[in-house]
Amino acid sequence: MPALSTVTTSGYSAYSERKQVIDDKKNFTSDLDDQIRRWGLRDAGTGYNIVSVFGSQSSGKSTLLNRLFGTNFEVMENARRQQTTKGIWMSRAKSSNILVMDVEGTDGRERGGESDLDRKFALFSVASSEILIINMWEHQVGLHKGANMTLLRTVFDVNLGLFGKKVKEGTSNRTLLLFVIRDHVSQTPLSILQSTVAADLARIWRSLHKPPELKNCRLSDFFDLAFVSLPHKILQPEKFEASVALLRTRFVNKDQEGYLFKSAYHKRVPADGLSFYMNNIWKRVLNNKDLDLPAQHELLSQFRCDQISSAALSEFYEIAKSQKRPLEAGHVVEGIGSMMKSWQSDVLTKYDREASRYHQQVYMRKRGELVDAMNATFSTLFLGQLKNLHRACLIEFEQQVVKGMKGAKYNFGDVVSNTRKRCQEKFTNIAEEASIKGMDWNWRIELESLMGEVQHIADQFRKDETKRMLNVIERKFKVNISDPVESALNKPAADMWDNTLIAFKNALLQGEETYMAKATSCNCTDDENSASLAELRMRLWQALRVKIDEQVAEALVLNRLKCYFEERFRYDESGVPKVWKPSDDIDGVFELAKAETLQMVPLYSKIAPSDARNAFKLPENSANTADQCEITSLLVLSDAKVEDLRTKFSRDADAHYMEVKRSIKTEIAQIPRWVYALLILVGWNEAMAILFNPIYLLLLLAMFAILNFVIQFKLSRPLYHAASTAFAGILEQNHGMLRMQLVRSLAKRD
């Protein structure tokens, strides 16, 4: 079937484009759906209206439509009088969702009286339009052919055959026949003209051959009648435009009392299916010259039910999409169960209201398909809600446990238990709310999975809490053990390791009691407690070893040995420094003090308490790595390190011994006092000369000040280096001058 062209007029937008729906060769356009999209009505659903115009050829139908709806249908030129509208054209009204059909005029000489095509156009328009505008002139009122009564008889006959059964069943839509009486310039009131036309219509209706079951049907069961008159367009242009503007408001203003597009006239065809619907109608019209459309009732029912179902589903999907987006984004939609039930009720109510008047088997089958389609969407939403709820509950559980553990005093077991209970209640309440009765949805499996993951997170929290407790206990242990270890190892003694281990055991016992108190609130198992206590003992012993290693550093041990030695060598029993005399047994005292001090060195080499009850041994399974084996070892200093300490201490002790010896020799080699008296006697005059001479005295004081400055700021070595450098520079310069002088002398001699 050839595609028909779309005609536009310069200055009009795409909304004002006119489309030839059926051409003069009885072909239906193939791209009406695209044109509806360009008109902006593709997604309008049923939010649009259709109006058609009937009338004799060259009676001003196109002009009337252009004035009423702002369309741009082609109009007859004044210079010649001939057919302008061929077939059926459609356009969208300006600023409203109204589709306007301009139907080819009747009784045209170009068709040569082809009444069958007029009947087909009439049937197509009746089945498609909500309002049929009958365009007639005032002087044609009362005429039979001039007033299109022949065409109206065809419309009545076709409508009776097509929808008569529906009227009997009470399921047919009515159509509005709007009679527009043109060039009303006479004194005859509109009411008289209306009565005349209505009487002619009633007579035509009575003359129709009706089946027995439709014998009592009235014209009003199929059609509503409305009448309006318009002044003469040329003689009374201002009144004509005013009347047209007033009539236009009855098409577009829904709040106006005389609004014409009533819901009873609507065909309930979604805009996105209008092309398909009209195409099928036209095919039936072409293939059924006798208009035997009741035989197609089931097919029509299937089409209409499909259309109604599609419209309902389209609206349903649009509403569901608004909640599907947050679900896809990972959010939990509150009250989604109530929304789904409301959507289901609204969709089924709408479907039942519009589709129940069609064939019952088709209606029920399509209703089941509609329910299945909605249930598929509901299942997707329900599963998405469960998935997001699962994740949200896990996140909330973790956050609430962390929040509950921020207080100074808290019971970990109570925090986890209460949070788990709230998590389960929240999931159960929301899952039950999201469920729809009659659906085989099982959310308890998801709940079991959630509780399993909650338990896993709780176990991880318990492990983290246990580690945190061990860290806190270890930090507190380091603080408590620091002073006792330093005090015990500060002075070498046989019981220093006993004191160290006693302090360690007390701190360890306190740490274990603290752990057990916390472990009870965490609901730790016996195996977990055993493993944690073993780790605690290892970590505290490691902390002790770190502290011991700090205290047995070489410098500290040598300093302690030095102090121990000096107490026995340089001080007496009262702690007073000894004044050695040449007659004292210095060698004996030195050897004894040195020997006693050297005996203290091995004490630092190994943690060996004098009382075996004070010994401490870690569990065997705790030393499972090379580093831990080194930590658990009681050896502190190796034999080589002990020997090195003994050697360094011996050197320091020997130095102290030599110092004492030198002090005694210095005292023995003291200068006699008479020498000092002789020096004073001989140098008295020179001293007096210097003291009583201001110049010498100032020079002497300056020399003492410079000497004191150099000594105070330790500048002797820098001054020595500076003087040496200067002296070397002077010598180098003199050597250069001598070489130069020698070169000159040799040059003169030559």
Q: Mind listing the pLDDT tens digit for each residue in 65-88? A: 998 999 888 877 654 545 566 789
Task: Name the β-bridge partners of 577.
Answer: 571
Selected residue with higher pLDDT from 416 and 502: 502
Nearest to 41 by CA among 23, 22, 65, 17: 17
Q: pLDDT band for position 52 (50/70/90)? A: very high
Look at residue 228 in the predicted model and tell me its pLDDT. Answer: 92
Residue 109 has pLDDT above 60, yes or no: no
Alpha-carbon gap, residue 543 to 549, rounded angstroms:
10
Alpha-carbon gap, residue 480 to 487, rounded angstroms:
12
On whether 96 is known to bind a ligand per the annotation, the reply is no
On whether 562 is known to bind a ligand per the annotation, the reply is no
Q: Mind listing the pLDDT tens digit for each residue in 213-265? A: 777 788 888 888 999 999 988 888 899 999 999 999 999 998 888 899 988 88
On whether 575 is known to bind a ligand per the annotation, the reply is no
Q: Mind listing the pLDDT tens digit for each residue in 352-369? A: 876 776 667 888 888 888
The pTM score is 0.46
Look at residue 296 in the predicted model and tell me its pLDDT. Answer: 41
| 160-174, 419-433, 475-489, 546-560, range with the lowest pLDDT | 160-174
Whole-number average pLDDT of the chain: 78
Look at residue 15 in the predicted model and tell me its pLDDT. Answer: 66
Residue 48 has pLDDT above 70, yes or no: yes
Alpha-carbon gap, residue 566 to 594, rounded angstroms:
9
**DSSP 3-state of 100:** strand
On whether 583 is known to bind a ligand per the annotation, the reply is no
Structure tokens at 551: 């205290």
Look at residue 656 in the predicted model and tell me its pLDDT. Answer: 75
Q: pLDDT band for position 9 (50/70/90)? A: very low
Q: What is the DSSP letter of 172?
A: P
Q: pLDDT band for position 407 (50/70/90)? A: low
On whether 736 is known to bind a ligand per the annotation, the reply is no
Positive or negative: CA dihedral 728, 731, 736, 737: positive
The residue with tokens 């006119």 is: 18
Look at residue 6 in the predicted model and tell me its pLDDT. Answer: 46
Alpha-carbon gap, residue 434 to 555, rounded angstroms:
75
On whether 610 is known to bind a ligand per the annotation, the reply is no
Residue 23 has pLDDT above 50, yes or no: yes
On whether 56 is known to bind a ligand per the annotation, the reply is yes
**DSSP 3-state of 5:** coil
What is the β-pairing status of strands 18-22 and 6-7? antiparallel
Q: pLDDT band for position 5 (50/70/90)? A: very low
Q: Mind listing the pLDDT tens digit for each residue in 680-710? A: 777 777 777 777 777 877 887 888 888 887 7
Q: pLDDT band for position 408 (50/70/90)? A: low
On whether 195 is known to bind a ligand per the annotation, the reply is no
Q: Mind listing the pLDDT tens digit for each residue in 342-352? A: 888 888 888 88
Mean pLDDT over 398-416 rounds to: 74
Look at residue 242 in the predicted model and tell me its pLDDT. Answer: 92
What are the φ/ψ torsions at residue 323 (nearest 5 degrees)? -95, -20
Alpha-carbon gap, residue 425 to 431, rounded angstroms:
10
Selected residue with higher pLDDT from 289 and 744: 744
